[in-house]
Amino acid sequence: MARMNRPASVEVTYQNMRFLITHNPTNATLNKFIEELKKYGWPFDDGAPPSNQIVHDWLSLVKIKFHEEPGCCIAVHCVAGLGRAPGLVALALIEGGMNYQDAVQFIRQNRHGAFNGQQRLPLEKYHPKMWLRFKDSNGHRNNCCIQ
C-alpha cells in the first residue's frame, strides 16, 4: 500500500496563542478517529465550513484554554492537515485581531498548501466577535502584534 506524503506538523504562534497544526495519525486509524470525534460533535466534511456550533465551541475552548493556561499549545488536526485544521486556527487568529488575508498568509508561511479557494471563502465572510482579544498586564486590549 502506498504511503501518503503528508506535511510535517507546524506550530503557529500569535500573541499569546499557540497552535500545532497536524494531520490525522494514520490511514489505518482514520475510521476509529472519526467515530471518536463524533462523540463530541466536532467532525465536519472536508472542504465544508464548520457549523456555527462548531465555531462557537472551538472559540470557547480556545478562549478558556489560553486564559487558564497561558503559553499552552492546542493541537488541531484533520486528515491531511491542509484545510479544516488550518481553517479553525485561522478563525482563532481572526478572533485575535488578524484580518482573514493575513491569517491565511501567516499559516501558509509554514503550512504550504493550506487552504484552497473553497476553504478561504468562509474565512473571508467571517465576522469576528472579538472573543480572543486578550488584555495585557495593564488591563488594555491587545490589538497589535509585531511579526
pLDDT tens, position by position, 119-144: 888 888 888 887 776 554 454 444 43
Using CA atoms, how far residue 87 sits from 79, 101, 137, 142, in Å, is: 13, 12, 30, 22
Which residues touch 33 (CB under 8 Å, ≥6 apart)?
Answer: 24, 25
Phi, psi of 18 (to 5 degrees): -130, 130
Mean pLDDT score across all residues of the chain: 76
* Reported confidence tier of residue 36, pLDDT bands at 50, 70, 90: low
What pLDDT, on a 0 to 100 scale, did the predictor assign at position 106? 92
Active-site annotation, residues: 46, 78
Residue 10: is its pLDDT beyond 50?
Answer: yes
DSSP class of 16: T
What pLDDT, on a 0 to 100 scale, did the predictor assign at position 41? 59
Joined together, the cell numbers standing for residue 48 give 465544508
Rounded to 5°, angle at Cα 100 from 98 and 104: 100
* Reported confidence tier of residue 39, pLDDT bands at 50, 70, 90: low
C-alpha R_g of the chain: 15
Which residues touch 99 (CB under 8 Å, ≥6 apart)?
Answer: none
